[in-house]
Structure 1
């Protein structure tokens, strides 16, 4: 602002001097006034050129990031890291062909070795599970290529990591797929087919890495901290530049008419400064239906009314679509002009997904008549609906009917303390006041001493359901799909709801995002508290956390909150090895651990098939340590998950 103040003062003084000379021409006579007029002319001309250049290339308005309500945040696709490794191999290999470098140089071997090691581990696991091979026998079969009839897949493990480049790879503008990448792709397809997965076609190429999401922190979904703000649109900048240059030319060439064109620019800039654009409006929003089922279409109707006394010449509205909902049809934007007392409505459709979705505050952009400045601010919805509830409902099956137990150790369990009960634990010396019914009279007859019998006190098992909401867990089958932690929130509520129906005290917690913790207890109020926490986005947000989670610290935090006898149900996509470490370390802390794992992989693609194989390997690892794991397809309706017993 200070940079503009000095030129403005100089310009006003120059204009005042010019007006004074026009009103009193006799002041221009004599040598000194002529010299002053000449200097003034040159100064005004130079200043006009400088101001024109600065107006063209400079702007005092900082950049303002506006939300994009048409789509939810983008997430990383499982297998994207594998695709990036193969892409890295291709990039390095092609550069080696272009530069005539040694093909087996040290700098090319690292990415190949990483891909080979990961696929070799998966191959040993798959052959062991499908054919019953020991790890040594499976490794021998991979090495001699006898495990498959696909020559390219067999060659990946049998013929080394640096096959010769095809001759056409050295031709200009020719970029064929490198042999090691093609062999890796065939190996993944063959291993996936052995697991009876929806294996990709071995002839299919890798999808572009750009289509798999980058998993980068995207910041706040609906940024409003810098609002309200009045800013320049930049539309008058070119007009101002043209006016200033014309004025400068008129000054230098002595053409008064050209100089007077500056009055137009002054008037335009003055109007933009004096009249700040405003919009006095009221908004209403209606949703139909209010409580849809997952996957249903929700019609949103927004009505904006001008309740002010002036016309709004330029009004742009962005409705606050929640981060968890995607627009199916229509647009949540409106551009219009409104006279006093008039209104406009627009409609768009959303796809419902489980959760309680609170709409963000709509954004309003009001421009002035000249299109020079605009005001950006939020506005509250004065009437109608401000949230959408989907899923997270009570089970509808008969609570009295027989059903599968929901924990790995159902029924009563030992409490770790002694007292009254039915199961003998130990004898101790008699203490005055002990009940006579607990005195061991046989011990008295044998030894002559009084002794009191101690029993194990029965206690109802307690369960903590923990949702894996780490940054790495935010994966989805496609970049714009529902992320795994939100599927995990739905599964966690299904587990808790079933356990509460069984009378088991249940608590919930999260690892990674948020700081959600509810101690284990029972009751309808507690059930509603669990539903509110998991259905909303405070405990498990739709945007991934910016920082990675240290597993050791997360386990220490959980164990500090858990009593030793509490069983833990971990809900995790198991999309990385840290998910396995989380489960293993909780088990190592002495807790009985079960796992519910939503499967967000897509084995129909090469990268997705690799992620599916890696995830199956992690599930196999946990089961090998006697940790029960329930593999859950999130596309299955929750009522079916409940009927099958979502918790293990």
Structure 2
């Protein structure tokens, strides 16, 4: 959509006509000379008019598929493809309503010569979901500001903060329902499992005719049975700490991983539920088509977006900028806040809700021994446990270095009891899953 606004276009002409007429009638030479000034002004306005510009507007996002809480730089470029110099170009980009600008500005002003381009950048904080950018408004004015040309460009850029993980191999702890997890038993499936002696009730399509041709003996082919699993995604939401200021924090990473894995597991026809370790909130497993949305809404209601600065008992803190004493004091505050230090037992509370046949995917930064104990205790209860742990530790201070070493020890210790996905958030979660599954199958 384009509009042109011409203001004061005829001022010079009207001044010349009125002054000239008055000068002639009154015979006043001075008044008559004012008409000359008006004609000069009209000529200047005509020379400074804004032709209809030809512009190309583009927008680039880096990164295009960020994690929740991650900073995204939007760069808008405007190019003059016309044949006229543009002395005053003003641009306003259409930032999505749910994304806040934290650095720079979506407004920009410049001049553009023929075949010249100009760019500006601003930074937003990503939030879970898909966010569409609005139209970019461009206003061109002449030197006097008396003529204006306004247009909008719909670039159609989307910020995707909900990319699904490829897949997660689950242990063979399954339900009676058919799914895609290979069980350690013969039944309905597509993968070869074994050959057994033929029985009269076996269907003809399962007979191994090649074997019959060689040995003149009937045998039946069995396939590996595939079942569905019941999976509860347990999110450790106790430590909203980040490796550095304005970086995504541990709770955001854990929530993000849970949402991605929920979608991937539901695509594999599994029953998926969710729970929160600190509050013991629980969503029972289901396999219907809207369960992925239920999981997202459940985590949003119980945890929130996790945007902004991490706060524990009113104190802002992060792993990267703490000395050892303050870091461990912060952990004590969290434990007291959630009743861990005073004898609370959220594991027993959650155990009463989680079905006995359910597997557990525990998303935790593993910043204390209590988190490691959660994984071990659920494994001891008979649940197949997979730990997905984002690493938000650093080595910038002695306290942070000590915490990083402690976390590494917990990871190594848990590998013998549960399956561990050690995720460095600088890399996609899918790569961490592939690397971990390679370790499990080795």
TM-score bracket, shorter-length normalisation: 0.3 to 0.5
Name the TM-score, length of structure 2 as normaliser.
0.47
The structure in which a higher percent of residues are strand is 2
Higher RCO by CA contacts (8 Å cutoff, separation 6 or greater): 1
